[in-house]
Every structure is written in C-alpha cells, then in structure tokens.
Structure 1
Amino acid sequence: MSDDSTTKMEERIAHLTAAVDDLSDIVATQANEIALLTNRVRMLMEREAEREYDAGGTVPLADQKPPHW
C-alpha cells in the first residue's frame, strides 16, 4: 500500500472512531432518560392505583384480570 492510501484509511478510521464515540454518548444519555421516564411512569401508575383504591375500589383496575379469565 502506498502512504497516501494508508493516510486515507487512518483518517477514515479516526472519523469512524469519533462517530462511534459520539453515538455511544447519545445511547448512554438516552438510556438514562429512559430509566428516568420508566421510573416516573411507575410512580404515576402507583399513584393512580392508590387513588382508585381510595375512591372505593377494591382492586385497582390495572390489577384486575379481564372477564374472560
């Protein structure tokens, strides 16, 4: 291989490495956001189940089996 093609390949590898690092950071950020949102949805589901129970329900609607079971 010539020095020119080697240099081009090294440049390409450097760009690809930078792109992979950027994407890795994005994925890590999204994983944190998903964990936070999952936790918030869980908390909201628990609050709603508690509200349904306090309103006189025996079992929160989300925990009841469908009638065909």
Structure 2
Amino acid sequence: MATLIDVTMGGATICSLDDHIPVTVDLSISFYTTAKIQEDVEIEARFDICGGGTVEVRRKENGELIAA
C-alpha cells in the first residue's frame, strides 16, 4: 500500500516539475483496513497548485477507504 501511494505521489510530483524547482515530500499514511491479495482497489490522487496533495485507496467493490 505504501508503495502504491509513494509511486502515485512521486510520479505526480516529478511530472509537475519545472526546470529547477526543488521538491520535498512528507509521506504520512493512515491505514484503516486491509486489502486482500489480488483485490481490486481504486487509487485517487488530488493535488493543489500550492503543492499539497492527498491520495486515497478504496475498495473497488464498495468504496470502503483502505488507506489515505
């Protein structure tokens, strides 16, 4: 789960870089429940123009929040 969130945030951060803007990432994850192996999940990432962002991982089946 941490890898999924890290890749999502890191990829979006790298894609948003201009020539020489330094980037700092503060990664904090709250786990609310577990996901089963091979279970389908949905990952939604939101970023604002000032540099903040959130990632939510939810069960595809019922929308239950797994991690944020």
TM-score (norm: length of structure 1) = 0.26
TM-score (norm: length of structure 2) = 0.26
Answer with 1 or 2: which has the greater Rg: 1
Q: Between Structure 1 and Structure 2, which shows a larger proportion of helix residues?
A: 1
Higher relative contact order (CA 8 A, sep 6+): 2
